Structure 1
Amino acid sequence: MNRSRIHVRLIPAMIVASVILLSYKLIGMSEALGLFQNPIKLTSALAQEDEKVNTGAEDNLKNDGPGDDKEGAEGKKEEDKAASKKEKKDDAENDPTLFTQSEIDLLQDLAERREKIEKTEQQIALKQGLLKAAETRIEKRVSELKQLELTIKGLIKDHDDQQEKKMNSLVKIYEAMKPKDAARIFEQLDIDTILLVAERMKERRLAPVMAQMNPEKAKDITIKLSKLRELPLPGTVIVQ
């Protein structure tokens, strides 16, 4: 029952709302139809709309007009003035005519010192180059001398080896001879040659030869041989 009553009450309200909405639509359609039927009213309405648009554009032009251009021009002038002042200040700082005499003298003195330092550096570099070249030549010469020394030592060793072979061969000859024949030849040789041979001979081979020699000559050979045998051989390290 309650639900049916609510539905009954809502129906008249909906009818009233529909009538009001329809009335608004009819009024709008009649106004539009009236404008089309009366060209004067339509033209007037369009003119009013154009006037509104033009008025808005003029307002915008007024807001962006000469006032803003004037402010921009004044700002540009201020920037140009500041830049001009900065350039003048820089020119004044770099202008040599604005230096005092003491400053000019100091700058000249510094320039002269710098020139002297550069010349000194060049001279030092030149001397270093000459010293380097001299060191290179000296090192090369030392290397050549060392090589020459090795060559000479090699030649001396070869010569000594050959002489040693010859002396050993001569010693073998005297050792193979009869003592009497060897003694006779020894007495005809100089003492240094006799010592070279006698020093290398074995004692049992040398003794019979010296027994056949002149006693005085044999005595001299004995004394000198004893002294030679007291001397260290070449290359022997002496420990004290």
Structure 2
Amino acid sequence: MKRLKLLPLSIVIMSMVLGVKIVDFSFGMGEALAASSEPAQEEPPAESGAQHEENAQADDEAEVAKAPSRQLSSNPSRKEIEYLQKLSDRRAELDRRSREIDDREKLLKAVELRIIERTKSLKKIEQTIEAALKKRDDREKVQLQSLVKMYTAMKPKEAARIFDDLEDDILLSIVENMKEKKMGAILAKMNLKKAKKLTNSLATREKLPEIEG
């Protein structure tokens, strides 16, 4: 009787365990099905030994092909050489012109200095001439004043006789510096033709002196 009571209990426990296993199994199958439904990522096929060797040889040939191009690029081309030559010629021409300009500037400066020195020399000569002329003028004035004083002291008749023989420019200079009264007395005693000529000369320069009758 006791065994009959334990049997139903054992059946219940076994049923529960079996249910749990069935649930676990069904859940695991679902994950497996989901994983199998995702697209698998394809891995690149592994290269064979011969193919790997061919690829390596191709890479080496590419490197060899690049080497001459790099070597050629380091050497200037004909156009580059011509361009560099033109630049060199242009620079030489500019240097030549620069030297010519420098030489011209030096020449102009030398000419300028020479002109300055020449101007100074001419200025000194001019000052010397002016000083000499002034001395001569002063000397002539002194001599003229001496003649005027001498003829003024003379009697009109004696002075008139000398004036008749003097050159016109000298006579005119003396008469211009004499007093009008004295000069009039001398003119009255001079040769009529000479006195007339002297009077005309004085009329063109200044007022005629009064002649006493």
Task: Tell me how far 1:152 sits from its aligned partner.
Answer: 0.5
2:100 equivalent to 1:131: no
| Aligned counterparts of 1:123 and 1:190: Cα–Cα separation in 2 | 65
**TM-score normalized with structure 2 length:** 0.61
2:140 equivalent to 1:160: no
Aligned equivalent of 1:190, options 167, 170, 179: 167
2:125 equivalent to 1:148: yes
2:98 equivalent to 1:98: no
User: What residue is the counterpart of 2:35 in the other structure?
Assistant: none
More helix by share: 1
- Could you tell me the percent identity over the aligned residues? 39
After the TM superposition, list the runs of 4 or more consecutive aligned residues in structure 1 that deviate by more than 6 angstroms: none
User: What residue is the counterpart of 1:173 in the other structure?
Assistant: 150
2:167 equivalent to 1:208: no
**TM-score normalized with structure 1 length:** 0.54
Aligned equivalent of 1:114, options 91, 95, 111: 91
Task: Tell me how far 1:190 sits from its aligned partner.
Answer: 2.4
How many pairs does the alignment contain? 139
Residues 95-133 of structure 1 deviation map (CA, whole Å, 9 limit, x = unaligned) = 996222111111110011001111111111111111111
Q: What is the CA RMSD across the aligned residues, in angstroms? A: 2.2
Residues 75-101 of structure 1 deviation map (CA, whole Å, 9 limit, x = unaligned) = xxxxxxxxxxxxxxxxx99x9962221
Q: Which runs of 5+ in 2 are unaligned?
A: 1-68, 208-213
Letter in 2 for 1:226: A
Q: Which has the higher contact order (CA 8 A, sep 6+)?
A: 2
C-alpha change, 1:104 and 1:197, in structure 2 (3 Å) is same
Residues 142-193 of structure 1 deviation map (CA, whole Å, 9 limit, x = unaligned) = 1110111011100000011000110011001111111111111111222222
